């Protein structure tokens, strides 16, 4: 998919099992092959990243996704999450990466986790607000110090 393609990241509340991944891949393949906007087929793709994220991409230069088509993809994901016992829509959790491990904390705990050094400025965080493939490739996984969470980092005293 081209770098300008529109993109949505859905973070699950847990790692996918092998069975989950198979069902997700089959379902997302079906969604992408049948997905339309105002009757026109969309040029789409998906990936399952880190066994915990679903990433859906549409090349809107071929045909743009409409509100109704986006709603249909969200409805589709709601069905998958119900069938698999997942939650793709809990925006209160922020995901982080440590080696190969993915873990999450509640949004409202971030300031405390930074001040008690559970999280560091170098801890890798997932920015699920990216909206294009180019952003996903360069700004999805970033150190906390380069993210919106930087404002919560403890301030270093200035020497006088």
Residues 6-15: tens digit of each pLDDT: 999 999 999 9
- Which tens digits make up the pLDDT trace of 14-68? 999 999 999 999 999 998 888 877 887 778 899 999 999 999 999 877 766 777 7
Q: Is the pLDDT of residue 94 over 80?
A: yes
Q: What is the pLDDT of residues 116-134, one digit of tens each?
A: 999 999 999 999 999 999 9
Beta bridge partners of 56: 8, 46
Instruction: Give the count of alpha carbons within 13 A of 121, CB side only.
Output: 8
Place of tokens 């198979």: 22
Instruction: Please report how many Cα atoms fall inside a 13 Å half-sphere around the Cα of residue 157, on the Cβ side.
Output: 2
Taking the model in full, what pTM does it have? 0.89
Burial class (CB in 10 A: 0-12, 13-18, 19+), 39: exposed
Q: What are 51's two structure tokens?
A: 């066994």
């Amino acid at each position: 998919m081209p770098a300008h393609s529109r993109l949505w990241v859905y973070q699950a509340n847990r790692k996918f099992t092998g069975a989950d991944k198979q069902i997700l891949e089959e379902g997302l393949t079906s969604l992408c092959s049948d997905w339309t906007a105002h009757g026109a087929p969309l040029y789409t793709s998906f990936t399952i990243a880190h066994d915990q994220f679903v990433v859906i991409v549409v090349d809107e230069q071929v045909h743009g996704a409409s509100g109704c088509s986006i709603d249909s993809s969200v409805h589709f994901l709601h069905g998958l999450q119900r069938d698999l016992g997942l939650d793709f829509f809990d925006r209160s959790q922020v995901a982080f990466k440590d080696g190969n491990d993915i873990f999450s904390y509640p949004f409202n705990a971030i300031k405390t986790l930074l001040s008690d050094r559970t999280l560091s400025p170098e801890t890798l965080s997932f920015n699920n607000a990216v909206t294009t493939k180019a952003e996903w490739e360069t700004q999805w996984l970033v150190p906390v110090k380069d993210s919106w969470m930087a404002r919560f980092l403890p301030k270093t005293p200035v020497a006088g």
